[in-house]
Structure 1
Amino acid sequence: MSVLDNELFVKVQNAVFDYPVFPTLWIPHCIMMSLALRNTLGGNWRGFSRQHPMSCFILATLYTFPGGILATAMLAQPVLSFMLNTPFVLAMMGSWYLVFYSPNDLFFQLVTKTGLILPFSGAQDFLRLHLVLSGVQTIHQLHPGSFFYPVVFAICKSSGFMFLKYAEYILANGLNQAFVIPHHSTKTCILASVILTLQSLGHLPIDLKPLFAILVGISLSFRLLTVLSSWDPYQAFENVFCAIAFGRPIENASPSKKKNKKED
Structure 2
Amino acid sequence: MDSAWDELTLAFSRTSMFPFFDIAHYLVSLMAMRHQPGAETVAWKNPLSSWFTAMLHCFGGGILSCILLAEPPLRFLANHTNILLASSIWYIIFFCPCDLVFQGCSFLPVQLLAAGMKEVTRTWKIVGGVTHANNYYKNGWIVMIAVGWARGAGGSIVTKFEQLVKGSWKPETEEWLKLSYPAKVTLLGSVIFTFQHIKYLSISKHNLMFFYTIFLVTTKITMMLTATSATPFAPLEDILGRMLFGWQHRFLSCEKKSEIKSSFNGTDSSTSKPTADTSEKVKKQHTKKTE
| TM-score range normalised by the length of the shorter chain | 0.7 to 0.9
Number of residue equivalences: 243
170-179 or 20-29: which moved more?
170-179
Q: Distance in 1 between matches of 2:241 and 2:104?
A: 42
1:101 matched to 2:67: no
Q: List runs of 5+ in structure 1 lacking aligned partners.
A: 250-264
**How far apart are the structure 2 equivalents of 1:150 and 1:72?**
13
2:83 aligned residue: 89
Report sequence identity in percent.
Answer: 23
Counterpart AA for 1:20? S
Closer/same/farther in 2, CA of residues 173 and 64 from structure 1, 3 Å limit: closer
Q: Which has a greater percent of helix?
A: 2
Alignment correspondent of 1:192: 189
Amino acid at match of 1:222: T
In the TM superposition, residue 150 of structure 1 has moved relative to its aligned partner by 0.1
Matched, 1:60 2:57: no
**2:24 is the counterpart of 1:24:** no
Report the Cα offset of residue 161 of structure 1.
2.2
Partner residue, 1:70:
64
1:202 corresponds to which of 199, 203, 208? 199
Matched with 1:246 is 245
Q: Report SS of the residue matched to 2:109.
A: coil
AA at the equivalent of 1:88: N
Q: Against the structure 1 CA distance between its residues 164 and 146, is the aligned structure 2 distance closer, same or farther, given a 3 Å change threshold?
A: same
* Structure 1 residues 238 and 114: alpha-carbon distance in aligned structure 2, compared to 1, 3 A threshold: closer
Q: Aligned with 1:65: secondary structure? A: helix
Q: d(CA) in 1 for partners of 2:109 and 2:78?
A: 33
| Residue 131 (structure 2) pairs with residue 137 (structure 1) | yes
CA–CA distance in 2 between the matches of 1:174 and 1:95? 27
Aligned to 1:182: 180
- What residue in structure 1 maps to residue 34 of structure 2? 38
Question: How far apart are the structure 2 equivalents of 1:116 and 1:205?
Answer: 37
Q: Which amino acid aligns with 2:190?
A: S
CA contact (8 A) 1:61 1:92 kept: yes
- C-alpha displacement at 1:245, in angstroms? 2.2
Corresponding residue of 1:118: 112
Question: What secondary structure is seen at the aligned counterpart in 1 of 2:20?
Answer: coil
* Larger-gyration structure (1/2): 2
Deviation track 1:130-164 (CA, whole Å, cap 9, x = no partner) reads 00001111112222221111001100111012323
Say if 1:118 and 1:174 are closer, same or farther in 2 by CA, change over 3 A.
closer
Shift in CA distance, 53/119, structure 1 to aligned 2, threshold 3 Å: same
Question: What SS is found at the alignment partner of 1:144?
Answer: coil
Matches within 5 A, 1:157-168: 157-164=151-158, 166-167=160-161
C-alpha contact 1:162 1:181 (8 A) present in aligned 2:
no
d(CA) in 2 for partners of 1:107 and 1:206? 42
Cα offset, 1:113, TM superposition: 2.3
- Counterpart-to-counterpart distance in 1, 2:210 and 2:83: 28
- For each residue in 1:111-137, what CA deviation from the matched residue of structure 2 results, as whole angstroms up to 9, or x when unmatched? 112521111111111101100001111
Range with greater deviation from structure 2 (223-232 or 51-60): 223-232
Is the 1:33–1:64 contact (alpha carbons within 8 Å) kept by the matching residues of 2?
A: yes
Determine helix, strand or coil for the equivalent of 2:35. Answer: helix
Partner residue, 1:255: none
RMSD: 2.2
TM-score when normalising by structure 2? 0.77
Unaligned runs of 5+ in 2: 250-291
Range with greater deviation from structure 2 (11-20 or 224-233): 224-233
Is 2:145 the counterpart of 1:147? no
Q: How far has the Cα of 1:6 moved from its partner?
A: 5.1
